[in-house]
């Protein structure tokens, strides 16, 4: 099957690179359509894939991987793509918009996240129409090559996925930043604060990774002895309505995802 990447920037390249590495497709099966000649040269030289000179060349492929920015969808010329597959990772762009550009196509919409860059991605995926089992497997394999995949059965669920795992890495980095800032207030140098916090979170994430069947709360309880230091910190989080802040923030992201898709 030939797979045609339209827009191969940060995200597209991550999927291209990992897909080749994990042999989801071979370089002979990949065609890339990009904007700038610099980018085309870089992608051709790095991955030995074929570069398309015009969008119409898409007709020789069975699958499109759409990796442009949502605002660039308008620029694409309408293609007839009956029965073929389009995989879109465009945040907030609903299937009804994508089908206008790829008439008759079967559309799969996915919401990946930043973890894809380190093969620890989390992607939500929605199949907009009936896909055969092998077609679904192929689409999922592109995302599974760089992480986990969760299929949802309503397109609107992708807005919820966006608010949890799509934006999730930023929540994690935000909390990391705040703990680093706190370490600075306690008098540590920047280097010391960074190493203390980064290694702590790396270790905690690795525990979640290695002990997938254990509950997160159990692990938290292991470091929260009665009358101890951690208990005091957690008490303070709870008294400051941390839970409410997290939920409200997630709801704000979800609402914005809905607005962008409207
Ligand atoms: N980054 C994330 O964490 C994340 C997560 C989930 C979903 N997404 C989605 O992933 C998509 C790509 O994001 P990104 O960060 O990879 O963006 P990006 O780095 O800007 O990549 C988009 C690429 O498409 C090219 N392009 C623009 N218009 C084109 C056209 N008409 N034909 C062919 N190529 C075109 C751009 O070229 P120029 O730079 O020359 O314009 C650029 O190289 C977005 O829709 C975003 O919503 C991203």
State pLDDT tens for residues 51-79. 999 999 999 999 999 999 999 999 999 99
What's the pLDDT tens digit per position in 88-136? 999 989 999 999 999 999 999 999 999 999 999 999 999 999 899 999 9
Ligand 1 pocket residue status of 169, Cβ below 6 Å = no
CA atoms of 63 and 16, how far apart (whole Å): 13
Taking the CA of residue 116 as reference, the ligand 1 atom at the shortest distance is 3
| Residue to probe by mutation, ligand 1, list 7, 36, 72, most atoms within 8 Å of CB | 7
CA of 165 to the centre of ligand 1 (A): 19
**Which atom of ligand 1 is found nearest the CA of 75?**
31
Atom of ligand 1 nearest to the CA of 7: 24
Which domains, ranges and CATH numbers included, belong to the chain?
3-152 (3.40.50.720), 168-261 (1.10.3730.10)
Cβ of 4 less than 6 Å from ligand 1: no
Atom nearest to 70 CA in ligand 1: 45
Residue 262: is its pLDDT beyond 90? Answer: no
**pLDDT, tens digit, for every residue of 1-40?**
899 999 999 999 999 999 999 999 999 999 999 999 999 9
The answer, yes or no, to whether any atom of ligand 1 lies below 6 A from the CB of 173, is: no
Ligand 1, atom 27, residue with closest C-alpha: 68
First to last CA, the chain: 33
% of the chain with per-residue pLDDT over 90: 97
CA torsion, ordered 16, 17, 20, 26, to nearest 10 deg: 50
């Amino acid at each position: 099957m030939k797979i045609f990447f339209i827009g191969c920037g940060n995200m597209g390249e991550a999927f291209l690179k990992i897909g080749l590495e994990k042999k989801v497709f071979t370089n002979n099966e990949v065609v890339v359509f990009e904007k700038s000649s610099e980018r085309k040269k870089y992608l051709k030289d790095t991955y030995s894939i074929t570069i398309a000179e015009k969008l119409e060349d898409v007709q020789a492929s069975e699958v499109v991987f759409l990796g442009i920015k949502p605002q660039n969808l308008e620029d694409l010329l309408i293609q007839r793509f009956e029965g073929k597959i389009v995989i879109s990772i465009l945040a907030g762009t609903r299937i009804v918009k994508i089908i206008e550009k790829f008439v008759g196509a079967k559309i799969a919409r996915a919401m990946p996240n930043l973890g894809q860059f380190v093969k620890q991605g989390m992607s939500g995926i929605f199949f907009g129409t009936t896909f055969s089992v092998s077609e679904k497997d192929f689409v999922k394999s592109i995302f599974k090559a760089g992480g986990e995949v969760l299929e949802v059965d309503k397109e609107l669920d992708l807005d919820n996925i966006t608010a949890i795992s799509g934006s999730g890495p930023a929540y994690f980095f935000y909390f990391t930043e705040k703990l680093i800032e706190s370490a600075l207030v306690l008098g540590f140098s920047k280097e010391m604060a960074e190493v203390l916090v980064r290694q702590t979170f790396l270790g905690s994430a690795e525990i979640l990774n290695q002990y997938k069947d254990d509950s997160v709360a159990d692990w938290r309880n292991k470091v929260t002895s009665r009358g101890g230091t951690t208990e005091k910190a957690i008490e303070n989080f709870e008294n400051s309505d941390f839970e409410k802040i997290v939920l409200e923030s997630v709801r704000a992201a979800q609402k914005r995802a809905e607005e962008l898709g409207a």
